[in-house]
């Protein structure tokens, strides 16, 4: 009896770490849905990977739009009847780095939380029935070490002086949400974890013409992929970077 191919969905996947996460999951044999707000861009990215022989398909999904989320769930239900892996990768950074924490606009906070937290929660909740239909499902929430409260309080930490509050606190909230959901799902066939991708050279880490970062995009996707493919003896409710567990 052959084992059914696993089905994954990656949000915010038309470029950067999300796109590379799709590539690596598909290369491991997982049929991967490349989700993006713009179906045209998602289709173009998926077609490029399909041309490499990878099992990828495009899907429209705006994590800040309830109707878009509901339509994506219906699409996955009709195409596959279940979801084995959900990688919540979509995220934005709206802080002005030139401003102090107390000077950031309330709109920057709202915009950040709409995508980084509320969108993530909405997508997860909407797909939970399809994840429960899987024999062994995984949820990976892409967070950041910048969400670690203990590291922000540690003068020896490299993030101690890196205060972009709306983004940082949104990732702290993602970590807290992961713990809450992991508690609900303990004893189920679903595992949920949160990850730090590393300081990756992506557009989010660009300052003008300079692209900052220490890691290539391929390295930035590895932790998400590792937790997406973890076995039934793997962790639930943890915060990871590569093979290391990070402090909350």
Catalytic residues: 167
Residues with Cβ within 8 Å of 48's Cβ and at least 6 positions away in sequence, in order, are none
Contact 174, 141 (CB under 8 A): yes
Joined tokens for residue 213: 């970062």
Phi, psi of 177 (to 5 degrees): -60, -40
Chain position carrying tokens 């066939």: 189
For residue 178, give the nearest of 88, 114, 72 by alpha carbon: 88
Q: How many helices (H) and strands (E) does the chain have?
A: 8, 10
- C-alpha span between 216 and 244 (Å, rounded): 19
Contact 169, 102 (CB under 8 A): no
Joined tokens for residue 78: 């009709």
């Amino acid at each position: 009896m052959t084992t059914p191919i696993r089905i994954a969905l990656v949000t915010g996947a038309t470029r950067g770490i999300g796109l590379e996460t799709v590539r690596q999951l598909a290369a491991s044999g997982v049929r991967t849905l490349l989700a993006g707000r713009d179906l045209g861009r998602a289709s173009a990215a998926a077609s490029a990977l399909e041309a490499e022989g990878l099992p990828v398909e495009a899907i429209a999904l705006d994590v800040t739009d309830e109707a878009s989320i509901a339509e994506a769930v219906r699409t996955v239900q009709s195409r596959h009847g279940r979801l084995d892996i959900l990688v919540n990768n979509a995220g934005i950074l709206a802080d002005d780095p030139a401003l102090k924490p107390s000077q950031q606009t309330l709109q920057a906070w709202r915009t950040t939380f709409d995508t980084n937290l509320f969108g993530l929660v909405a997508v997860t909740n909407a797909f939970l029935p399809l994840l429960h239909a899987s024999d062994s499902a995984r949820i990976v929430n892409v967070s950041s070490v910048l969400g670690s409260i203990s590291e922000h309080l540690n003068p020896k930490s490299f993030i101690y002086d890196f205060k972009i509050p709306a983004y940082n606190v949104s990732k702290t909230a993602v970590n807290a949400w992961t713990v809450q959901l992991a508690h609900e799902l303990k004893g189920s066939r679903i595992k949920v974890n949160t990850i730090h991708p590393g300081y990756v050279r992506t557009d989010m880490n660009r300052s003008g013409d300079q692209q900052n970062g220490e890691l290539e995009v391929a390295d930035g996707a590895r932790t998400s992929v590792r937790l997406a493919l973890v076995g039934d003896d793997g962790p639930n409710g943890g915060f990871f970077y590569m093979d290391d567990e990070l402090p909350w």
